Structure 1
Amino acid sequence: MKSLLLAVCLVLALRCGEAAVSCSTTVAELYPCVSYIVQGGNVPESCCNGIKALNSQAQTAADRQSVCRCIKSAIGGVSYTSNNLNNALSLPSKCGLNLPYKFSPSTNCDSIN
């Protein structure tokens, strides 16, 4: 499963790069979160640091929408269990953040301001 996530992330990194916060940056910042999403347990500090870095880098609506689309594509392109999705959805709150979007394949990224 980790290798499949990595492959999806690498493809997305090559496809998305138009916004100030590129998809490759998003993938790099969120890569430390893969182990938590797949296995649960404790959220790695490097994962929270990555989410916080992305949040601070995404200053405009276009940036936030780009990050959202990259996350949505990565989640949507991988077969996941409801437990994996719940782990992904819980990441921002476990890292002490309130993001304007959810780490979910059903998020409407166009509605993010």
Structure 2
Amino acid sequence: MRSLLLALFLVLAFHNGEAAVSCNAVVGDLYPCLSYVVQGGNVPANCCNGIRTLNSQAQTPVDRQGVCRCIKNAIGGVSFSSNNLNNAQSLPAKCGVNLPYSISPSTNCDSIN
């Protein structure tokens, strides 16, 4: 499990996007969500706070596309189980946040407005 988490953060930390929201910010905001993605259970409050922060910071299509790419690259760079992916995809709804994209390795980030 440690290698899974390390790989996730290496992918995120070294991917720089053009958006105003850096991948490092995405890492910081979503780090509290990893326990839920990997183990399930209750979504930590600081995870939901991070998702809300990212959603409020990503004001332009370029920002939203950049955040989407950071998340997508992280998901695509690590072998997650279908249960882990389902947990990740459920986060926005569980936190009451309406993201303009799905957390999925197949999301087309270029189509986000």
The verdict on a shared fold, with TM-score over 0.5 as the criterion, is yes
Matched with 1:106 is: 106
Q: Is there any run of 5+ residues in structure 2 with no aligned partner, and where?
A: none
> How far did 1:19 drift?
1.5
Name the CA distance, whole Å, in 1 between partners of 2:33 and 2:89: 12
Superposed, which structure 2 residues align to 1:2-81 within 5 Å?
2-81=2-81
Q: Secondary structure at the match of 2:59?
A: coil
User: Any runs of at least 4 consecutive aligned residues in structure 1 with deviations exceeding 6 A, and if so which?
Assistant: none
| Amino acid of the structure 1 residue aligned with 2:26 | T
- Residues 80 and 11 of structure 1: CA distance in aligned 2, closer, same or farther (over 3 Å): closer
Identity %: 75
Instruction: State TM-score, norm by structure 2.
Output: 0.94
Q: How many residues align?
A: 113
Q: Note the residue ranges of structure 1 that are not aligned, 5 or more in a row.
A: none
Distance change (3 Å), C-alpha of 1:17 and 1:69? closer
Question: RMSD of aligned C-alpha atoms?
Answer: 1.2
